[in-house]
Amino acid sequence: MNLPTRNTQIQLRRQRDGIPALDDFQTVDAAIPDVAEGAFLVRAIYLSLDPYIRKAMRGDHPGHAKLAPGEVIYGRSVCRVVRSRHADFKPGDYLVAETGWQTFASLTPKKVVQRIDPALGPLSTAIGVLGMPGLTAWGSVAHVAPPQVGQTFVVSAAAGPVGGTAGQLAKLAGARVVGIAGGKEKCDVALRTYGFDACVDYKKAGWEDEMRAACTAGIDVYHDNVGAPLLNALVKHFNLYARVVLCGRPADYHQPGFEGVSLGPIIGKRAQVKGMVVYDYEHDMPRYQRTASTLMREGKLRFKEDHTQGLENTPAHFLKLMRGENIGKAIVAVGPEKG
């Protein structure tokens, strides 16, 4: 093997309230870690950028301590085992694992999120449509609030990996699907790539009228990816007994004094608002991956990824995600798929 001899890391340079800035991060050249007995060395291929990382950095996410300056930023990667002192992990094995933002990591099994079967789809999809974002959509549409045939299913952050997959699964289940996204480019992805019936650009003046026109039969299921302000704006379009799946709220992440949900309209609509956490559906990952992989091969489930190349570009790509400018799953291509 012709591996690099050094490990590139992106570390925290300083904590900050609110949206981070580029100089809160520092790129450091470190030694490739030793591999203790029972551990194995992995090389990152695709680094996953996700909204929860912002919360994890400041210790505001389950299982993540607040980062101190000089510590490697949290993150999961599609990675490959390159050296091993653990019988269950062989060089060449593909994994999704908690590597952090670095090119190499020495791991123990508890840092492994899942093994990857490369036959299921492109490797990068293991952190996208075939990974946690896809499973989140599956948890919502298959478990928490399955839409009925002919119902109107609305999903926010529609161009993203969770929203895009949820909408396509809802459409496969017979629903009419209306996306909500910020900007024309994202709406085009929802319409052309994902095949939604409509997509409303909430940044456009008059979007509420468009929303009404897109949901003349009322909203039956709303998959919420963005938080309370949009939910409060949509309730008036709900049908009685509408169901809401709450599965993330990046819009709330930077707002200590955020807007909460108004209960009166929820009562009036007899709405059911259900919190969900993707980890509750990990047991169903094999079934989801088989299903989604087949749908992908048949061209019935499509995905969009926003790649950047090179670990050193990770902070900028992450800030793009924080600003909501990514179109599709945000990924950093860190290293080669083989070799």
Task: Please report, as ranges, the residues that interact with a copy of itself according to CB under 8 A.
Answer: 62, 227-228, 231-232, 246-249, 252, 258-264, 266-277, 280
Q: Which is nearer to a copy of itself, 70 or 258 (CB)?
A: 258
Whole-number CA gyration radius for the chain:
20
For the chain, the first-to-last Cα distance in angstroms comes to 7
* Helical segments of 83-227, H only: 132-138, 161-172, 184-188, 207-214
Distance separating alpha carbons of residues 201 and 51, to the nearest angstrom: 21
Q: Which is nearer to a copy of itself, 33 or 229 (CB)?
A: 229
| Shortest separation between residue 46's beta carbon and a copy of itself, angstroms | 27
Q: Which is nearer to a copy of itself, 271 or 327 (CB)?
A: 271
Question: H or E stretch including 263?
Answer: helix 263-268
| Shortest separation between residue 259's beta carbon and a copy of itself, angstroms | 6
Distance separating alpha carbons of residues 57 and 73, to the nearest angstrom: 7
CB 78 within 8 Å of CB 335 = no
CB 278 within 8 Å of CB 242 = no
Distance separating alpha carbons of residues 164 and 188, to the nearest angstrom: 12
| Shortest separation between residue 275's beta carbon and a copy of itself, angstroms | 4
| Shortest separation between residue 61's beta carbon and a copy of itself, angstroms | 10
Q: Which is nearer to a copy of itself, 257 or 299 (CB)?
A: 257
Contacts for 311 with CB less than 8 Å, ≥ 6 apart: 8, 10, 27, 44, 47, 101, 102, 103, 332, 334
CB 221 within 8 Å of CB 241 = no
CA dihedral of residues 291, 297, 300, 303 (deg, nearest 10): 90
| Shortest separation between residue 322's beta carbon and a copy of itself, angstroms | 18
Q: Which is nearer to a copy of itself, 263 or 316 (CB)?
A: 263
Distance separating alpha carbons of residues 312 and 314, to the nearest angstrom: 6
Distance separating alpha carbons of residues 238 and 229, to the nearest angstrom: 15
Q: Which is nearer to a copy of itself, 38 or 268 (CB)?
A: 268
| Shortest separation between residue 283's beta carbon and a copy of itself, angstroms | 15
Q: Which is nearer to a copy of itself, 13 or 269 (CB)?
A: 269
Q: Which is nearer to a copy of itself, 64 or 111 (CB)?
A: 64
| Shortest separation between residue 54's beta carbon and a copy of itself, angstroms | 13
| Shortest separation between residue 76's beta carbon and a copy of itself, angstroms | 20
